[in-house]
């Protein structure tokens, strides 16, 4: 579908994970190639956000078996910052406030650590903000402080555009966005798949995201397992009939 700069895939194999003392993921297999968009859909409580957290190593979610790899680099067991350095990015469903830490300072440090060009951060921030309609005034604030839910989601995409990771896990990036913001965010992510070969795993409940961010594959998760895979037409089917056919 798109031009890429790397052939390494994000490969998830037999992944099991525990959250809150309960096993939520029971053996997930999924592979995302550079430049591809994969949508992960499913009913509430099916394990979609747990998968996102397990991939990034978020505290409170523990991988107990299986593999998470980008190319030959195994990520399971690594701290989150090492996974980020390997090229993985997580846009949280509920981005948190970080008082005292400015966005530009954070991204400058991130690019410095990863060997990127930290000198381009200020200009890149303004360009990315303008592209998705994120008010430049917010660039000087501490991270997400006093931002609305939708503004925080746009802030995540601004960060993605500056850092340019290899793979992005978007956990309900469409939640809280109005129609125009959703269109701008989805189109920016779509362009990234060709601009630098970004691979995307988008967790979503709604087909409307996929009207702008075109999915190569759609996966259905129920009970901590992927129970169905298909092309973009699967999202249309789910939108029309729900998940009843996939729930035991």
Straight-line distance from the first to the last Cα atom of the chain, in angstroms, rounded to the nearest whole number = 34
Residue among 107, 115, 56, 114 nearest 80 (CA): 56
- Judge contact between 178 and 148, C-beta under 8 A: no
Q: What would the pLDDT profile of 196-247 be if each residue is shown by its tens digit?
A: 999 999 999 888 899 889 999 999 999 999 999 999 999 999 999 999 999 9
CA 56 to centroid of chain Cα atoms: 10
Task: Specify the pairing of strand 61-70 against strand 10-19.
Answer: antiparallel
Band (1; pLDDT cuts 50, 70, 90): very low
pTM of the predicted structure, to 2 decimals:
0.94
Model pLDDT, residue 4: 43
Model pLDDT, residue 5: 56
Would you tell me the crossing angle of helices 179-195 and 121-132 to the nearest 10 degrees? 130
* Of the listed ranges 12-16, 22-26, 115-119, 148-152, the one predicted with least confidence: 115-119
- Judge contact between 118 and 108, C-beta under 8 A: yes
Q: What would the pLDDT profile of 49-104 be if each residue is shown by its tens digit?
A: 999 999 999 999 999 999 999 999 999 999 999 999 999 999 999 999 999 999 99
């Amino acid at each position: 579908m798109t031009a890429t700069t790397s052939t390494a895939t994000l490969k998830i194999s037999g992944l099991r994970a525990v959250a809150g003392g309960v096993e939520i993921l029971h053996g997930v297999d999924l592979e995302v190639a550079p430049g591809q968009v994969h949508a992960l859909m499913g009913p509430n409580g099916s394990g979609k956000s747990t998968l996102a957290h397990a991939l990034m190593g978020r505290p409170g979610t523990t991988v107990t078996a299986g593999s998470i790899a980008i190319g030959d680099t195994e990520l399971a067991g690594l701290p989150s910052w090492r996974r980020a350095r390997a090229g993985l990015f997580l846009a949280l469903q509920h981005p948190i406030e970080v008082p005292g830490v400015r966005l530009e300072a954070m991204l400058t440090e991130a690019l410095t650590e990863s060997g990127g060009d930290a000198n381009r951060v200020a200009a890149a921030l303004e360009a990315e903000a303008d592209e998705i309609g994120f008010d430049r005034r917010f660039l000087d604030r501490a991270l997400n402080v006093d931002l609305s839910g939708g503004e925080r989601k746009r802030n995540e995409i601004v960060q993605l555009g500056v850092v340019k990771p290899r793979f992005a896990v978007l956990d309900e990036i469409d939640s809280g966005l109005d129609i125009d913001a959703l269109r701008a965010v989805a189109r920016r992510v779509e362009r990234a798949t060709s601009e630098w070969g970004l691979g995307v795993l988008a967790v979503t409940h709604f087909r409307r995201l996929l009207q702008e961010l075109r999915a190569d594959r759609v996966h259905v998760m129920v009970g901590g397992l992927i129970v169905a895979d298909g092309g973009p037409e699967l999202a249309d089917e789910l939108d029309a009939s729900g998940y009843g056919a996939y729930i035991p």
